[in-house]
Each structure stands twice: as C-alpha cells, then as structure tokens.
Amino acid sequence: MRIYLDHNAGAPLRVEAREAMLAVLGAAANPSSAHREGARARALLETARADVAALIGAAAAEIVFTSGATEANNLALRGAVGGRGVVTTAIEHASVLETARALEAAGTRLAVVAADGEGRVAADDVAAACDDATGLVSVGLANGEVGSVAPVAAIAAGLRGRDILVHTDAAQAAGRLPVDVRALGADLLSLSAHKLGGPAGVGALYVRRGVGLAAQATGGPQERSRRAGTENVAGIVGFGVAARLARAELATTAAAAGALVERLWSGINARIPDAVRHGPAAGPRLPNTLNVGFPGCTGESLLALLDLGGIAVSLGSACAAGSAEPSHVLLAMGLDRDAARSGVRLSLGPATSAAEVERVLDVLPGLVAQVRAVRGEAAA
C-alpha cells in the first residue's frame, strides 16, 4: 500500500465529492438556460457557491468561480491593478510572481518584499514597500512549501485608508486554517478545489462587494460578467461538497495533522540529527506541512527512492516540478543552492495515519544514508 504525503500539491478526491459530481454528470445542462434543466443546474451551482463562501466567511455573491487558484490569482492581479503598482513577496506561488513580473514587463511598477529565514514576511515591510502609485498588494496567506503564515490581517489594517487593494492566495490555507475574509480585511482571495479534496480544474476568487474587477475572459455574462464561459457545474458541485466537509472537519483535521507532523519531525530529528527543518519552528504555520533538508543529499534522489519505496512526497510546489532550479522559496529564505536542493516537503491529509508516519520514519534514515553514500562515492 502506498503512502501519500503530497496533499499540498493535490488532495485525493473525496468520495462524497465524486458521488455528487457523478450525479450531475448524468444530468448535465447549461445553468444559463431558461428551461427546467437549466434552472436545476443553476440551483446546484448556487448551492455550491454558498458552500464555498461559507468556508471563508464571505457572501455567496462575492464568489467568482474559475478554473483554479492560478486563474484566480491572474484575475486578481490583472483585473484589479488598473495600471497602478503591485507589491508582492519573494515567496509567492509562481502564478502570483510570474503574473506580477509579466505586468512589470508591460510597464506596471513592481516591488517584491523579502522573507526571513523562516519564510515569514513582516507587515511593516509590506507597508513600507507601498507608495502613492501602489494599487494592489498580493501576499499569500500560507506558504505551501514551508508552511509559514503571513500576517495578512495586519497588512490590510496597516494599509487601510490608502486606496490599496489587498489580495491573498489562500489555496493552501483554506481547509487547514480558519479563514475569514472579514477578519483578514482582504479585498480579493483565491481558492483551489483540489487542495480541499475537490476536483482539479476548479477554483474561485472572492471579490469583496464594491471592488472593481476587469474581466480577463470576455464573451458572456457568466459570474456577474467577471469570467465569461459556461460554468463547470459538475466540478463546482464537487468543490462545494469538499468545501462544506472541510469547514465541518477543520478543527479535528488540523489538530490531528499538527500532532502527526510533530511526531514526524521529532522522529526525523532523533534518527537523522543533522536534518534541518525549513520554515517556522513555532506557530502560526500550516499544521499539515513539514519541509526538511538533509545535508549531503539531493532532494530529487531522495524523492525517487521514497517513491520506489511506496511513499509519495515532493520537493516543493508541484507547479515547479521538473525544474532544474532549486525552490525559489528556500532560496528567498537565505539557503544556498545546495541546501535548497536538499529540501523535501511532506504534506499530510485528513486520512494520514500514525502508522503511515511510523513507516516513513522506519524507511527514511536508510534512504538518506543510501543517497549520501552514492554521492560520496561519486565525489571520491
């Protein structure tokens, strides 16, 4: 039996979401159609919208469905900037950083704020990077590689009255941490279904009532004219079910994941004393995420051996998989390239068991020793 510890890349589709999606696929209709079948599809769509909104404390009318968090991030940055400047951080997901850089290449002023050695960003640094030309700040709520949590509420409070919109990518945080858009003070917030146990290819952008947003996909009035195109009703229904379950189970799953991560780290630290934990040693942090470096190892080699041994982990963001470059997040935290290449991310889910964690602890030391021996022989 395989052990899956890559939930930050994509959580397995929940049975309840799959069943709900199959029921919809068997009776598909366009939710914009005026007939009875269309009205039924519209009702399913709006029920899911309410469930997704409830997960983050929003109103249903403030949810715009997209194809995922990457599209939501693009829509937020491209649709809300309006020619004014952007401030973001060095540890954002590629869908934020690359979009911000594309805007910069087109003439938008861009400032990128540094992170500290634990992957944290200071609210004062973000505020200091803003000037009269700034129109949007984009800071991810939780980093999916090292688990750090950004002070988005403090950032929003510090910018209040400055006519600057605040966007946060909450794809990794939602369902793992309590998320309330009102308490955060966010104007825009991105979500992804497949991080929650919903289907891949579905996401959402929260747009606070009154915030102007230029559509990037045009050609229809769907999603209140913010994203043209017939909605993916089955996928959205699966998203809604996953969001409802994640909200109901949040406290239990977060506590269980946190305890298993600490067991995992304490076991690694005892068995491999020179292992290094990347990211915050104390909260706030994602409860399910552990990023560990093993000096003298390459993460790619260790990942391959773990995979052969039936254990799925990752090197960081799945969107950067296959890249020859080390993690930009670890580099931004001050690690050198060799240290950044030694990092492996283990991200747990609701179904991860204590027995699976113990199995990883039994296997990992031998694999680390194997990689180090091969590397030592190659260097000799």
Domains located in the chain, CATH noted: 3-9+250-379 (3.90.1150.10), 15-245 (3.40.640.10)
In whole angstroms, give the CA distance from residue 272 to residue 369: 9
pLDDT tens digits along 105-127: 999 999 999 999 999 999 999 99
Q: Which two tokens stand for residue 200?
A: 């891949």
Q: Record the pTM.
A: 0.95
Q: Which two tokens stand for residue 207?
A: 């747009």
pLDDT tens digits along 66-88: 999 999 999 999 999 988 999 99
Task: Verify whether residue 319 is a known catalytic residue.
Answer: yes
Span 154-183, average pLDDT:
97
The pLDDT assigned to 380 comes to: 54
Span 340-355, average pLDDT:
96
Span 50-54, average pLDDT:
98
Distance of CA 257 to the CA centre of its chain: 17
Q: Is residue 324 scored above 80 in pLDDT? A: no
Q: Is 177 helix (H, G, I), strand (E, B) or coil?
A: strand
Catalytic residue among 319, 320, 369, 374: 319
In whole angstroms, give the CA distance from residue 287 to residue 282: 10
Non-local CB neighbours of 185 within 8 Å, separated by 6+ positions: 152, 153, 156, 157, 160, 166
The pLDDT assigned to 318 comes to: 54
Q: Tokens 């290819």 sit at which residue? A: 201
